[in-house]
């Protein structure tokens, strides 16, 4: 019987299973990680002036977090790797949806009185989507597990923030900042794992940076 470590470890690959499609984990993780870090800084700006707003988030979300990550997911599924392929395609689509939802491209409703509750439920369903991966993430190393569990927390905190806002409550600066910091840490962890993967690739599979 295969042990959990041998079931599937696509985030720790140094050789391609396919002569045409190389692993796309680095692109997917960097697309997710860098966009999430910027989003975290924008969220934390609600609590303290980090100097970042959605003007920086949306272009990254469309180009790198959305499009590049989605393509990475397609490549990983083409390679037969369901966990990273599904995750990258899912979060690529998330960044597209997030941008459309919050930028006003879908109409004025995004800025109407029900918007905070809309966003809260949006975050709830993405927390559930993330939980699907989090409970299986330990098969892929501690770095990936850390990314998914901090992401679950980020979505839960965001759902609470916007539910409180929708109920007419004032969300404390500290809660916004905590949400943003957790989101930033999640993105940073994804970037770190990507750096570990590509570094191992250049050191014949040796994990110079543990992940």
pTM, 2 dp: 0.85
Task: Measure Cα distances from 82 to 77, 78, 87, 107 in Å.
Answer: 6, 9, 8, 35
pLDDT tens for residues 162-190?
Answer: 999 877 778 888 899 999 999 999 999 99
- CATH code of 87's domain: 1.25.40
Which pLDDT score is estimated for 86?
97
pLDDT at 66 over 50: yes
SS (H, E, C) 76-125: HHHCCCHHHHHHHHHHHHHHHHHHHHHHCCCCHHHHCCCHHHHHHHHHHH
Residue 206 pLDDT grade (very low, low, confident, very high; cuts 50, 70, 90): low
Instruction: Look at residue 3 and tell me if it is in a domain.
Output: no
Instruction: Look at residue 52 and tell me if it is in a domain.
Output: yes
Instruction: Look at residue 211 and tell me if it is in a domain.
Output: no
Going along 145-211, which residue ranges are E strands?
A: none
Which pLDDT score is estimated for 5?
37
Number of domains in the chain: 1
Instruction: Look at residue 16 and tell me if it is in a domain.
Output: no
Which pLDDT score is estimated for 203?
63
What's the number of CA atoms in the CB half-sphere (13 Å) around residue 13? 18
Which pLDDT score is estimated for 126?
98
Phi and psi at residue 149, to the nearest 5°: -70, -35
Instruction: Look at residue 7 and tell me if it is in a domain.
Output: no
Around Cβ 52, how many Cβ atoms within 10 Å? 18
Range of the domain at 74: 22-201
Which pLDDT score is estimated for 7?
36
pLDDT at 19 over 80: no
pLDDT tens for residues 117-158?
Answer: 888 999 999 999 999 999 999 999 999 999 999 999 999 999
**Stretch 3-30: mean pLDDT:** 64
**What distance in Å separates the CA atoms of residue 183 and residue 42, rounded to the nearest whole number?**
10
Instruction: Look at residue 12 and tell me if it is in a domain.
Output: no
Instruction: Look at residue 2 and tell me if it is in a domain.
Output: no
Which pLDDT score is estimated for 133?
97
């Amino acid at each position: 019987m295969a042990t959990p470590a041998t079931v599937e470890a696509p985030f720790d690959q140094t050789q391609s299973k396919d002569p045409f499609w190389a692993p796309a984990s680095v692109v997917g993780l960097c697309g997710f990680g860098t966009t999430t870090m910027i989003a975290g800084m924008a969220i934390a700006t609600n609590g303290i002036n980090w100097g970042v707003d959605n003007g920086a988030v949306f272009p990254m979300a469309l180009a790198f977090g959305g499009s590049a990550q989605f393509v990475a997911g397609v490549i990983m599924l083409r390679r037969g790797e369901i966990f990273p392929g599904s995750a990258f395609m899912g979060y690529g689509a998330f960044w597209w949806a997030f941008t459309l939802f919050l930028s006003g491209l879908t109409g004025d409703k995004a800025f109407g009185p029900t918007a905070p509750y809309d966003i809260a439920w949006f975050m709830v369903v993405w927390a559930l989507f993330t939980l699907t991966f989090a409970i299986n993430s330990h098969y892929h190393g501690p770095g990936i597990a850390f990314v998914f569990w901090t992401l679950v927390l980020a979505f839960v905190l965001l759902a609470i923030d916007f539910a409180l806002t929708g109920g007419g409550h004032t969300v404390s600066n500290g809660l916004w900042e905590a949400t943003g910091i957790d989101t930033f840490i999640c993105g940073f962890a994804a970037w770190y794992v990507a750096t570990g993967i590509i570094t191992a690739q250049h050191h014949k599979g040796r994990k110079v940076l543990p992940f």
